[in-house]
Each structure stands twice: as C-alpha cells, then as structure tokens.
A and B are shown apart, each in its own frame.
Chain A
Amino acid sequence: MHLRIEYEKGREVRHLPHLALVRAMERAMRRACLPVALTAGFNPHLKMSLGTVLPVGVWGRRELLDVELAEHVPVEEVVERLQKVMPPGLHVRRAAELAPGAPALQAAVNAAVYSLGVAEPCAEQEVARVVERVMAAERLEVLSRGKTARVKDLRPGISAMRLRRRAGVLRIEALVAAGDAGNVRADELELALRQAGLDCEVSDVCRAGVYALADGVTHSLLDGKRVDAWNDDWS
C-alpha cells in the first residue's frame, strides 16, 4: 500500500540537512517494525520519498513523505507505531492511504506557505510597509544562488503575503509557488524582503505547509480536500 505521511521537522532541529531527515525517517520506520517495501537489487533500501527538500535552517510544520508498505497496515496503526519511536524534534501528525496511480509528491506539490519570524526589536509598521512594497511591485528581481546564479523574478510566484502574530512573535507569511513549475525558495523570499527594505533580523524560517493550488484554491495533498492553507492557526 502507498501511504502519505504528514510530519513536522521541529524548530529545534531546523539545522539538519535533508539527507539526515531521510535517514532518520528510515530508522524510525524500522524501529516501528513497519513492513516497508525494499527496492530490488544488491543494495536494497526502503521505498520512501521525501518530496521537496527542506533546506538546512528551515523547519517545517506540515511536511510530507510517501512510503510504500509491502503489507497492508491500518493507517491509524502506522501513525501510532511511528509516533512511539520518532526521534526528538520530528513528529508524525497524520497519514493517509494514497489511491493507486496518485501523482508522486514531487509532481503534485505546487504551492507552499512560508513563515518568517521577525526578531525584536522591530517596528511592526516598518515591516508592514515592506510587505506592501513587495505586493505592489510589478517585478521582484533577485540574484538566485541556485546551481547557476541567475536573476529571477519572484513576483509572479507570490500569490499572497501578510503579517501575522503567532505566540507573540511577528511573522511575515507568504503563499508562494513551489515544485517544478516555478519555485520560490525561502532564501529567495528573504532576499526579496531585504531588497524591499527589511532591516530587522529573521529569527527563524518555517515552511508552514505544502499544497496543491488549483484555480486559486489550496488542496491538501493528503486527502485532496480543500483546505484553507492561509488560515492554518498552528495549533
């Protein structure tokens, strides 16, 4: 059976690289004695895919991974068994069985919400102005670090941006394009904000969730249902 698991890469382990996460998940699966399917050949490894990479320094609230089990196990049981053996810093939230032939994670994700914490001291008015400037701009050109440094226009990839307070911390949040067709990275977003005049330090960067955006509506990649990604209250 094919499962999609939603998990959190916690704030306290945000400095872990992607590969470390892959390994940690593999080991958790083994500790949970889940019958994960193995690839064929000399060096079998678990059939698992973590989708889009969460870079070093970024934590994630609703990250997704796909895994194939060789035998059927009830979804609630998978979640329960995993939760018992997860390492500190990584938390399994929920899971769903994928219909056969469902598109792979990499292909299905096309939107993400990023949330950048603004460190004190900082004038909220100033930050609000920065957000306005970004959304009012026709073009937002940043020098993207990527594999080949190039100038990239981020503006078309930003659907919405606003300020929000969470647990007393002021955060700049943006709904952006993600995945193969036009990807706005967290570090590029921060660059654009700086170029628009953001002086304050960023305390932490979080990817609040990944989604499938169609006709202006965000859908969950777990069950395909409409979900209000913009108003997720992080409870």
Chain B
Amino acid sequence: MNEIEERLPRVLARVSRPGRYCGHEHNAVHKEWGACAVRMVFAFPDVYEVGMSHLGGRILYGLVNQHPDWLMERTFAPWPDMEQAMREEALPLYSLESFRPVREFDVVGFSLQYELCATNVLNMLDLAGIPLLAAQRGDADPLVIAGGPVCYNPEPMAPFFDACLVGDGEEVLPEFLAAVARGRGRPRAERLRAVADIEGVYVPSLYRPEYQADGSLAGLQPLEAGVPGRVRRRVVKDLDAAYFPLSPLVPYLDIVHDRAVLEVMRGCQRGCRFCQAGMVYRPVRERRLSTLLAQAGELLAQTGYDEITLASLSTADYSRIQELVTALVERHGPRGVGVSLPSLRADAFSVHLADQVQRVRKTTLTFAPEAGTQRLRDAINKNVSQSDLLGAVRAAFDSGWQGVKLYFMVGLPGETREDLDGIAEMLKLVRDSGRERAGKRLRITASISNFVPKAHTPFQWEAQVAPDQLRERHEYLRQQCRGLRGVSLDFHQPEPSLLEGVLARGDRRLAAVIYRAWQAGCKFDGWREYLRMDAWAQAFAAEGLDPQFYALRRRPLDERMPWEVIDTGLDREFLQEEYERSRRGEVTPDCRQAGCVECGVCPNLGVALVVEGDDGAPANRV
C-alpha cells in the first residue's frame, strides 16, 4: 500500500459516494509499473459514473493493457466535495489501479466527449500538479493528449494539449504509444515533432494561428518542414476484425449505463445535416452477426451483467438487426438476461423490435423527429415522415407502452413559426392517438433542445439563434401546447447552448477565456447546478472576445475555419452542396440504399462501406 492509498480512507470518510475513488473493480488491470515501457492514464473529465459508461474508454483500456509492455490506468474528475478534501489534504490526482499520482505517468490522455468539459480538464491537470499550458511543460512532465469528438475542432483547447489524436483510437493510439516508447529520454520538442509524423496526430505547438483584421482566421501555419497542412482522421477499416474488450471493467457503483455493451457498427449514413457524429464517423462499418453473437456470449460470461445493450449511432439500421435481436433473446433470455436498444427509428419496425426486447413495457419509447414540419425535416435531411412517426406511436401504444418521448430542436436554420406550430400539431396527433389506446396513464414528453451548429457539418456556416430569441420560441411553444393533457414539455436552457456553440466553432484565442473561467472557479459546466454563466461572461469580456462572433454570426462560405486543420475525409464541396440543398429543401438519400452521394470519405481515406448482407457475406463493399 502506498502513501496515497494509506491516506485515502480519512479523506473518503468525508465525501459523498466514496466508492467513486477506491477502484478495485472486477476486471481492473494491475500491471507491474517497472516492467512497462509506456504508462498511460486515461483521464475522463467528468465524474466516475459518467466516465465509466463511456465505451471508448473501455475499448482503449483493454487494447492498451493487452500489450505486454504497456499499461493503462484510469482517473476521473473528482466531485467538488472530494476535490476540496484533496486540496485540503494536499492529495494529488491519482490513478484508480495503483493509486499513483497522475503526474508520474508517461502519457495522460483526456477523452473529450463534449465541449463543456473544458474547465474539468484544467482542474484535473491542476490537481495533478501538471502545468496547464503545453508550452510550460518540461521533459519530466507527462505528455498530455486528447482524443474524442471535440478533437474535430481542437483549437479552443489547443494550448493545453501536447497532441490531439483524431479519429478511431484503436488505430492511432497504439502508434502513438510506440513512438512514445521509442522517444524515451529525448527532449520534449523532439518527441513531439516525431509524433506529428503519425497520421491522425495533431501537435498544436507546431502550428501558429493567424487572424484577419475582421477577426476571422487567416490560417493555421505549420511551423516546421514536413508538418502536414492538415491532420487526417484515422479510421478502422475492418471493424469486425477490430479489437473489442470482452472482459471490460465492471464497476461496483451504479453508473449511467450499467450493462454489457456490444458495438454493433460504427458510422451512420443517414446524413442528417445537423449531426456532427454522422458526418465525422463515416462510413458505416458493420460487424458480422456471427461475431456479435460470439462477443455477446463472452461478454456476459466475463461480466455477469443481466442486460446487454446494442450500441451504435442508429442501431435499428443494422442490416441484420432482426436476426440479432431474436438470437440474443433466444439464447440469453431464459437466464434472465435482457437486451436493450438505445435509440429507435421513428417507424413501426422499430417498435416491433422494442417489443421483442423490453421485458417490462412500463418504460418509455423514444423517437427523434427533431423538427415539426416535413419542410424543415427535409431541410435538415432528417428522414422521418409524419405517417411513419404516427405509425410508430400507434404501434407503441397498441403494444402496451405507456410513454412516448419525442426529441425536437428549436433554432434550426430557416425555422419559422409554422415549424413551431408543427411541433405542437405533432404532439396533439400523438396525444390523440395515445388517448384512444392508453387512456389516462398516457405520458408524452417532448424534450426540446437548442440547435448548435457544429464543425464539419453542412450547417457549420450557420448562425446559431441567440438565447433571448430561443427563449421566445420556447415560450411560444409552451403556449401552443397549453391545455394538451398528458403532454409535458422539457426545455434545455439557452445559455449553456450558447457556450457550447462558441466552443464548438471557436478558435485558439478562446483558450485564454477557458483558462480565466477555470481560475474563477468554473468546473462541471455541463451540470446545471455548477454552470456559472456570469463567470464565463466575465472571462470573455476580460479577453476582449465576443461570444456572438463565434456562434451568432453567419459565416461567409469562403471563410477559413479553425477546424479545417482536421481532415475528416469529407470534401468541402460536399458540405457546401449539402448546405445549399438544405436551403432549397432538397433531401439527400442514404448511400447504402441510393448509391454513392459523393461525400468524399471513401476515396479520400481509402475506406469502404461495410454492410452485412443477408447471407452473411459482406454485401456492399464499394
């Protein structure tokens, strides 16, 4: 037992949920420190329960630890009460496996899942005793890297990271760690220059942003010969053959998603124009049915979970979903194991699937129409028709489901009052359909979020709608839905959406704002009870930067964007074309059904769509 482990119990006696901080979970990997050439700590900048639900972390944990000479441990953001206790006791941020200070590791890797985790990253670095700015780190400090979707626009956080790894971690992380092993003992600058040669690794210190007089980006200038002008995303070509952890960590504590997770496929082809994930995770790559069934069996045997979830961006689109669900229910159902689907297409087929898997129908089915009129749904390329949705709702209520939840966005490009009326109208139709079948126990919830334009999407040039206007639209909707019995509306606050929007399409100057916000005590910004917009407003003002410039301005089509240093494989022309088609209300079909839509990803990255055919052979390799 080392010093941290010895001192921990006293500290844990004063905090809530101490189980977050004591490790010893089933399948945690303990390796011999001295015997490992590279030692990495996976740092998730949110609380344990959220971080442990993240599939990417499980994959990388297993993958890295599988390597005989490498080690990966974990650390999470301590909840504010634990942070306070740690600071009072001078206890540094430590890893959950060996209780070592995080600063002793060779690599500290942050998984950036959403923009508002920024201050948590800084807070964790501070608690670890690692200099926050990459420029201030010396040879003895760990390499601090980032991965995850926020790396598709890494610029606002660029000064804090030595490197950002873009794309599928299974591809790029092992190459990165091998380079770290080779570079041991070399000066820091030399090591960073070496990793910049790995495809998918963005080293911010090797680029200098330059700005135009109007404040927009003039460019990101590579500072050394041979440093690529753009960093290309890494993609796992053959997901079926790719590593998948069959003995993942099983936490003691109740976490957000406490089940065995099977990754059915990666990528989504539907091409919804607002969705960054659908754009940057192309192409669809499915796993074979036989592979999934074998993985499911092993996963359940190694974890003892009583529920297995089929994860992907749109699981109902998996080409053999019906067979998969049937086989899983048949094989594992009798032993009391349930299957769950995280998201459903808005059609009756999906409801039929849901019927097969949910043991108890008292829960709620969720659909995401996103917009209230066909016109607007076409503009955002969300392929849901009203008749499909009503058919799904009818099927749900007929099967005995009592609750339906519908996701909508307010603030979409070109949104008019008619579109808001359309939401109310849709809710009324759903309610009427439900009333006939489910009677008084009917529960319809509309979850209304605020549209945030994201980098690398056709809407990346769009202006986000300002908070006060969003609030007006929320109020209008409330009024339109007044008196609709059985329907409840749930609105997302506009201010956090604005902050998210600024960071999502920001440039490197925002790092100073993030730093100030952290200094002012901001943390857990993604949590309503902790977000302090006043502190952020002051941080912006102190740096002379205006949130409106980043989020509320419609950008000219020829503006250089900070995130273009990252090459997702999508042709810029495609995004622009999609933007124009959205203005004309034209739909772009799914390339799995309609053939190539020329987004550029497959030829640019040398990858292909991988879809299982009915006979089990990969049917559609372009």
Which A residues lie at the B interface, using CB under 8 A?
Answer: 10, 12-17, 19-21, 23-24, 26-31, 33, 38, 42-46, 56-57, 85, 87-89, 201, 203-204
**CB-defined interface of B536-547 with A at 8 Å, one 1/0 digit per residue?**
000000000000
- When A and B form their complex, which 10 residue pairs have the shortest distance between CB atoms, in order from nearest? A27-B304, A87-B26, A15-B18, A30-B304, A31-B304, A20-B252, A89-B24, A88-B24, A42-B360, A16-B19
Could you tell me if B18 and A56 are in contact, using CB atoms closer than 8 angstroms? yes
Among candidates B9, B253, B301, B304, residue contacting A20 with C-beta atoms closer than 8 Å: B253
Residue of B nearest to A32 (CB): B304
Could you tell me if A15 and B302 are in contact, using CB atoms closer than 8 angstroms? no
**CB-defined interface of B295-326 with A at 8 Å, one 1/0 digit per residue?**
00000111111100000000000000000000
Contact residues in B for A56 (Cβ distance below 8 Å): 18-19
Could you tell me if A27 and B303 are in contact, using CB atoms closer than 8 angstroms? yes
Contact residues in B for A15 (Cβ distance below 8 Å): 9, 12, 18-19, 21-22
Contact residues in A for B252 (Cβ distance below 8 Å): 13, 16, 20-21, 23-24, 87
Among candidates A17, A24, A57, residue contacting B13 with C-beta atoms closer than 8 Å: A57
B355 → A minimal CB distance (Å): 14
Could you tell me if B305 and A27 are in contact, using CB atoms closer than 8 angstroms? yes
**What are 15 A-B pairs with beta-carbon distances under 8 A?**
A15-B9, A17-B19, A19-B254, A27-B26, A27-B304, A33-B301, A38-B336, A43-B360, A44-B359, A45-B306, A46-B336, A56-B18, A87-B26, A88-B24, A88-B28
Contact residues in A for B254 (Cβ distance below 8 Å): 19-20, 23
Contact residues in B for A38 (Cβ distance below 8 Å): 336
Residue of B nearest to A15 (CB): B18
Could you tell me if B300 and A88 are in contact, using CB atoms closer than 8 angstroms? no
Q: A13-B24, A45-B306 are in contact. List 12 more A-B contacts (CB 8 A).
A: A12-B24, A13-B22, A15-B22, A16-B19, A19-B254, A20-B252, A20-B253, A27-B306, A29-B304, A30-B306, A44-B359, A57-B12
Could you tell me if A204 and B9 are in contact, using CB atoms closer than 8 angstroms? yes
A38 → B minimal CB distance (Å): 5
Any chain A CB within 8 A of the CB of B25? yes
A217 → B minimal CB distance (Å): 35
Any chain A CB within 8 A of the CB of B379? no
Contact residues in B for A10 (Cβ distance below 8 Å): 24
Any chain A CB within 8 A of the CB of B376? no
A58 → B minimal CB distance (Å): 11
Contact residues in A for B303 (Cβ distance below 8 Å): 27, 31
Interface residues of B in 319-341 (CB under 8 A from A): 335-336
Contact residues in A for B306 (Cβ distance below 8 Å): 26-27, 30, 45
Residue of A nearest to B338 (CB): A43
Contacts known (A30-B306, A204-B9); A87 close to B24, Cβ less than 8 A: yes
Could you tell me if B19 and A87 are in contact, using CB atoms closer than 8 angstroms? no
Interface residues of B in 333-365 (CB under 8 A from A): 335-336, 359-360
Contact residues in A for B9 (Cβ distance below 8 Å): 14-15, 203-204
Any chain A CB within 8 A of the CB of B250? yes
CA–CA, A33 to B337, complex, Å?
13
Contact residues in B for A44 (Cβ distance below 8 Å): 336, 359
Contact residues in B for A204 (Cβ distance below 8 Å): 9
CA–CA, A27 to B42, complex, Å?
26
Contact residues in A for B24 (Cβ distance below 8 Å): 10, 12-13, 87-89
Contact residues in B for A42 (Cβ distance below 8 Å): 359-360
Interface residues of B in 379-397 (CB under 8 A from A): none
CA–CA, A25 to B306, complex, Å?
12
Contact residues in A for B301 (Cβ distance below 8 Å): 31, 33
CA–CA, A46 to B336, complex, Å?
9
**CB-defined interface of B246-262 with A at 8 Å, one 1/0 digit per residue?**
00001011100000000
